[in-house]
Amino acid sequence: MILNKRIIRELKENWVRYGALVFLIIFSLGLVVSMAGSTDVVNYTIDTNNEKNQLEDGEFSVYVPLTENQKLELEKMGAKTEESFYMDLMGAEKSILRIFENRKNINTIELEEGRLADQMGEIVLEKHYAENYGIRVGQSMIVNQKNYLVTGIGTVPDYSNVVQNVSDVLADLKQFSIGFVSEAEFKQLLAEDINVEYNYSYKLDGNLTASELKEKLVDLDFDKTKVANKYMQEIINTIEKGKNDLSGGVNDLADGTQILANGTSSLKQGTNELADGAGSLANGTDQLSAGLEELTSSNITLNKAADDVFQGMIAQVNSEFEKMGMTVTITGDNYSAVIDGLIKAIGGSDANAVIVLNTMKAQLDSYKKFKDGLSAYTNGVESAYSGSAELSVGAADLYQGSVAVASGVSTLSNGSSELNSGMGEFKNQVTSFIDENMDYQYVNLIAFLEADDNQRITSCKSDAAINKNSALIAGVIIITLIAYMISVFVIHTIDKESAVIGALYSMGYVKKELLRHFMILPMLIVTASAMLGTGLGFLLIGENIKENVAYYSYPGYSMVFPPYLLIYGVLLPVLIALLVNYMVINSKLSMAPLKLLRREKKQHKLANIDLKEMGFINRYRIRQLLREIRGNLTMFWGLFIAILLMVFGFSIYGSVSAYVNNVASDVEYNYLYFLKYPMENAPNDVTKAYTESLTAELYLTGGEMDVTVQGIDDENPYFDFPLDGEKNDVIISDSVANKFGYKVGDEITLSDNLEDRNYNFRVKEVVSFASGLYIFMDIKDMRELFGQEDDYYNTLMSDHELDIEAGRIATVITVDKMVAAARQMFTMMYGLVITILGASVMLFAIVMYLLVKMMIDKSTFSISLIKVFGYNEREIKKLYLGTTFYTVALSTLIAIPVSKMIINKIYPYMVSNVSAGMNATMSPQSYLIMVAIILSAYAIVNFMIGRHLKKISLVEILKERE
């Protein structure tokens, strides 16, 4: 169609406009496609690598290594395990190098260079570590004061995010990494080192679920005497001693009763033969006294042990409840009422449960009776003993009251022989109770972690996924905006050529032909630039992926070009443009030919509102604004999106810098030691605390995340909030509050996944504490809740470095290092922030320039006319650019708060996998900078348009008619 010849000319005449649009499309699609594409490349690389190198399904660690039989048993059930024992040793520049032995079947090493370590004294290093310290294959390095030859450099699939602890916020690739040595070398290290982590990786064959495996591991028997770790051995000894004390006490008790029986029967004889003389009485009382002394000496142990057993039973019952899915917790005082309540609540609906509950209650009742009886008895023994002492001292007095005594003694004698006969039975019962019930305290399993919950494995992919999703969404929004802008330009053209179109209609052109014609240009532009943009995006993948490659540890990537990205990058924009332009142009071309010929425009109703009251300039401006309502609305949306991007950029910046600052200011101790094996006597200048790690549900993603529950006391110098209140009151950090959406007054449930137990807390207060995810409570309540001794602790806080045996320490947190890591995150984010801000400013300026210019073009005739009337440039600028100012000001005023609200809602999703609570915050300065950016973009565009206005000549009026 010959008409199409004008397309090229239209393009040439308005090259700035179309060029800017093409640039916008290419730029935004390039950005989006490269972001999404690099995610796909990362995912593909990681997936292929995971498959190739047999990524684990999960891992667990134990106190005592599994026996060969146990491993076979697990394998038969459907879980192949492989030892992945490790120890953290000191590498280059005080860094920590976690040493494993070579892997065989699970999480195998992907070498990038060199070969595996197969001799003594050889090591393979993780690639970033090698790079950071400039170590190459063939060089040697010192680990733990020993020289190693580096034979290879590579990665493993279970440490793609090389963090020391699974809950670490960031990897510090200089401070911590991993290395692999030969089997023989590892054996030798095992012989030397005290603190080895008995970690196992497993792969399930489909017949076994992870939770079944975990259950099995919890139940697995193990030989306590084989616990190699001396600190663990200490703990076991203490527990065992308690048990031995109890059974020893019962034995003593039995012995004592025997002696007592003997003593009392002698006493009886003695009293009967009172007249026979004081000599045999003295013997009797001495024997009695000895027997009673024997008894009292074990009273304390006995009562304590009996109480331990009782508490053990209570804990047992609580965990039964847990298994039965009940969320109640009983104590020694309330069990009877609680269980009765439960029975009542269940009623007839579950006969089995009622039976079980009754049994539980009966068991507890009988034991409580025994315990109470025991303490009554020991009390009795004690007073009997003091009585007997008096007895032998006052032997002379006794003589006088001998008759009265005789009857009393007779009763005692009967009682004690009864006691003695029942004692054997009782002793058996206690012993079997100990054997049956006191074993549950020893579970070999320390930690159990499925691959899906292991951020060392997942975080790279989930990180990338979030970027990709947000990029794809942003892409669609921007393309829609651009498509709409293009259609606005096309409408502008149609309006300008309305009479021509009317003429063509008059000659017999049909709408279809003109529609097709007017669609060609926008489609051409969108198609061409979408193809270019997508192409550019693919080219930029390498650039985009750099940061990811530098941070995460995976093998060199190979490019993939996923077909969906072609669809997204080319087809989707084309479809959007087709749809938007079809709708808009079609409606324009549907006007009657006569109306087109007469240049009648569909005037917006708003354009006719009464403005009599206003001054001329304002009236003119508002009329202009209303006349160009479509252009102004488009500009509003364009500016809105640009501002949204800007707010997003500033929010990332604000969030990360607030995190860095708060970490530095909130944490007042300098060193935090988590002890795996607390020592009996802590150094005296430290603050003790008690820490447990529980998991909480992430309402955002439905996943879970670890939180740290920390018990502290009122004297703790590093925290200044009061700890009073109910037993289950906790104080949560603001990080926790915003990560999990908790508020003051909320009842929250945290779970111990290892023990399958839930704990309920009530949020009493939210305090500012940026580092990690902490929940604080009174250490006394916490010990009670977790069933620990009154003086238990496992955490030390200090303002200086402590001299603690390395083997006792689970983790040390050094605040300086933490702050440094946070700073590193800041630098990592910097590039992203700059890109986003740059893109937003560009979008802002281009959208504004194009639309303002278009509106001016539309008004060329009137501008030329008022120039003829004698208006000067300043006045004309006022009339025509003033409206733009209204739109820009209004867009800014609306868009900033609304964008902030939107970003506030979206941001938590974007950081959902970061184990720290981060808010989308913007400092007042950021707002000021933003407004400054907007104003300067406006000023620049204004200047450019002003120059354009100057060029509008007076003869314009002669060329055209309106």
Would you say 26 and 533 are in contact if contact means Cβ atoms under 8 Å apart? Answer: yes
Instruction: Please say which residue, 6 or 224, places its beta carbon nearer to another protein.
Output: 6
In the structure encoding, which two tokens stand for residue 525, read together? 């532009």
From the CB of residue 916, how many other CB atoms can be counted at a distance below 10 Å? Answer: 23
Q: Please, what's the b/e burial string for 367-390 (b: 16 or more CB within 10 A of its CB; e: otherwise)?
A: bbebbeebeebbeebeebbeebee
Interstrand relation of 176-181 and 96-101 (parallel, antiparallel or unpaired):
parallel
User: Tokens standing for 402?
Assistant: 């001998």
Task: Draw the binding track, 234-263, toward another protein (x: CB under 8 A; -: no contact).
Answer: ------------------------------
Cβ distance to another protein smaller for residue 803 or 962: 962
- 502/678 with CB nearer another protein: 502
Count each helix (H run) and each strand (E run) in the chain, helices first. Answer: 28, 20
Q: Find the shortest distance in angstroms from Cβ 17 to another protein.
A: 15
User: Would you say 2 or 275 has its CB closer to another protein?
Assistant: 2
x-or-dash string of contact with another protein, 2-31, rule CB under 8 A: xx-xx--xx--x------------------
Position among 593, 703, 882, 946 found at the interface with another protein (CB under 8 A): 593
| Residues 261-279: b if buried by 16+ CB within 10 A, e if exposed | bbbbbbbbbbbeebeeeee
Report the residue number, 512 or 743, with the smaller CB distance to another protein: 512
Stretch of 181-189, 449-457, 586-594, 607-615 contacting another protein, by CB under 8 A: 586-594
Euclidean distance between CA atoms 906 and 900, whole angstroms: 10
Interface with another protein (CB under 8 A), residue from 560, 597, 832, 906: 597
Largest interatomic CA distance in the chain: 153
| C-beta of 85 vs 509, nearer to another protein | 509
376 contacts another protein (rule: CB under 8 A):
no
As measured in angstroms, the least distance from the Cβ of 962 to another protein is 11
Q: Is position 94 an interface residue for another protein (rule: CB under 8 A)?
A: no
What is the spatial distance between Cα 453 and Cα 279, in angstroms, rounded to a whole number?
80
Nearest to 741 by CA among 777, 773, 709, 710: 773
Minimum Å distance from CB 566 to another protein? Answer: 34
Q: How many CB atoms lie within 10 A of CB 483?
A: 25
Mark residues 836-875: x for contact with another protein by CB under 8 A, - for none: ----------------------------------------
718 forms part of the interface with another protein (CB under 8 A): no
DSSP string, 242-302: HHHHHHHHHHHHHHHHHHHHHHHHHHHHHHHTGGG-HHHHHHHHHHHHHHHHHHHHTHHHH
Q: Which stretch binds another protein (CB under 8 A): 20-28, 89-97, 245-253, 587-595?
A: 587-595
**Core vs surface per residue 640-662: b (16+ CB within 10 A) or e:** bbbbbbbbbbbbbbbbbbbbbeb
Any contact of residue 1 with another protein (CB under 8 A)? yes
CA 827 to chain centre: 21
Contact at 8 Å (CB) between 38 and 548?
yes
Q: Which of 164, 160, 182 is nearest to 174 (CA)?
A: 164
Nearer to another protein, 226 or 959 (CB): 959
Task: Give whichever of 10 and 390 is closer to another protein, judged by the CB atom.
Answer: 10
Report, in Å, the least distance between residue 517 CB and another protein.
10
Among positions 480-539, residues that touch another protein (CB under 8 A) are: 497, 499-500, 502-510
Compute the half-sphere exposure of residue 794: CA atoms within 13 Å on the CB side of its CA: 22
Instruction: Fill in the amino acid letter for 802.
Output: L
Is the CB of 11 or the CB of 466 nearer to another protein?
Answer: 11
Shortest gap between Cβ of 478 and another protein (angstroms)?
30
Question: From the CB of 627, what's the least distance to another protein, in Å?
Answer: 23
Give min distance, CB of 864 to another protein, in A: 15
Q: Which is nearer to another protein, 115 or 959 (CB)?
A: 959
| Least distance (Å) between residue 826 CB and another protein | 54
Q: What's the closest the beta carbon of residue 12 comes to another protein, in angstroms?
A: 9
Give the residue with the Cβ less far from another protein, 799 or 956.
956
Q: How far apart are CA 444 and CA 911, in angstroms?
A: 35
CB closer to another protein, 502 vs 555: 502
Radius of gyration of the CA atoms of the chain, in A? 41
Nearer to another protein, 2 or 396 (CB): 2
Q: In the set 76, 104, 604, 959, which binds another protein (CB under 8 A)?
A: 959
Q: Does 961 bind another protein (CB under 8 A)?
A: yes
Place of tokens 């203490």: 238
Is the Cβ of residue 98 or residue 517 nearer to another protein in the bound state? 517
**Shortest Å, Cβ 860 to another protein:** 13
CB closer to another protein out of 939 and 958: 958
125 interacts with another protein by CB under 8 A: no
Q: Taking CA 643 as the corner, what is the angle to CA 642 and CA 648, rounded to the nearest 5 degrees?
A: 100
Residues facing residue 44 across a β-bridge: none
Binding-site string for another protein from residue 406 to residue 425, where x marks contact by CB under 8 A and - marks none = --------------------
Q: Are 631 and 884 in contact (CB under 8 A)?
A: no
Distance CA 275, CA 277 (A): 5
DSSP run (H or E) holding 507: helix 498-507
Q: Which CA distances in Å does 402 have to 271, 279, 291, 394?
A: 7, 14, 22, 12
603 touches another protein (CB under 8 A): no
955 contributes a contact to another protein by CB under 8 A: no
The encoded tokens of residue 452 equal 């899906």
Give the closest residue to 721 by CA, choosing from 675, 677, 774, 684: 774
State which residue, 597 or 658, has the beta carbon closest to another protein.
Answer: 597
From 20-28, 589-597, 637-645, 760-768, give the range in contact with another protein by CB under 8 A. 589-597
889 binds another protein (CB under 8 A): no
Q: Name the residue nearer to another protein (CB basis): 25 or 591.
A: 591
Question: 632, 629, 633, 648: which is closest to 841 by C-alpha?
Answer: 648
594 binds another protein (CB under 8 A): yes
Question: Residues 810, 716: contact at Cβ < 8 Å?
Answer: no
Number of residues counted as binding another protein (CB under 8 A): 26
User: Which residue lies nearer to another protein by CB, 146 or 511?
Assistant: 511
Q: 164-190 in b/e burial notation, b at 16+ Cβ within 10 A?
A: bbbbbbbbbbebbbbbbbbeebbeebe
Question: Which among 186-194, 309-317, 588-596, 862-870 is the span making contact with another protein, rule CB under 8 A?
Answer: 588-596
Residue numbers at the binding site for another protein (CB under 8 A): 1-3, 5-6, 9-10, 13, 497, 499-500, 502-510, 592-594, 597, 959, 961
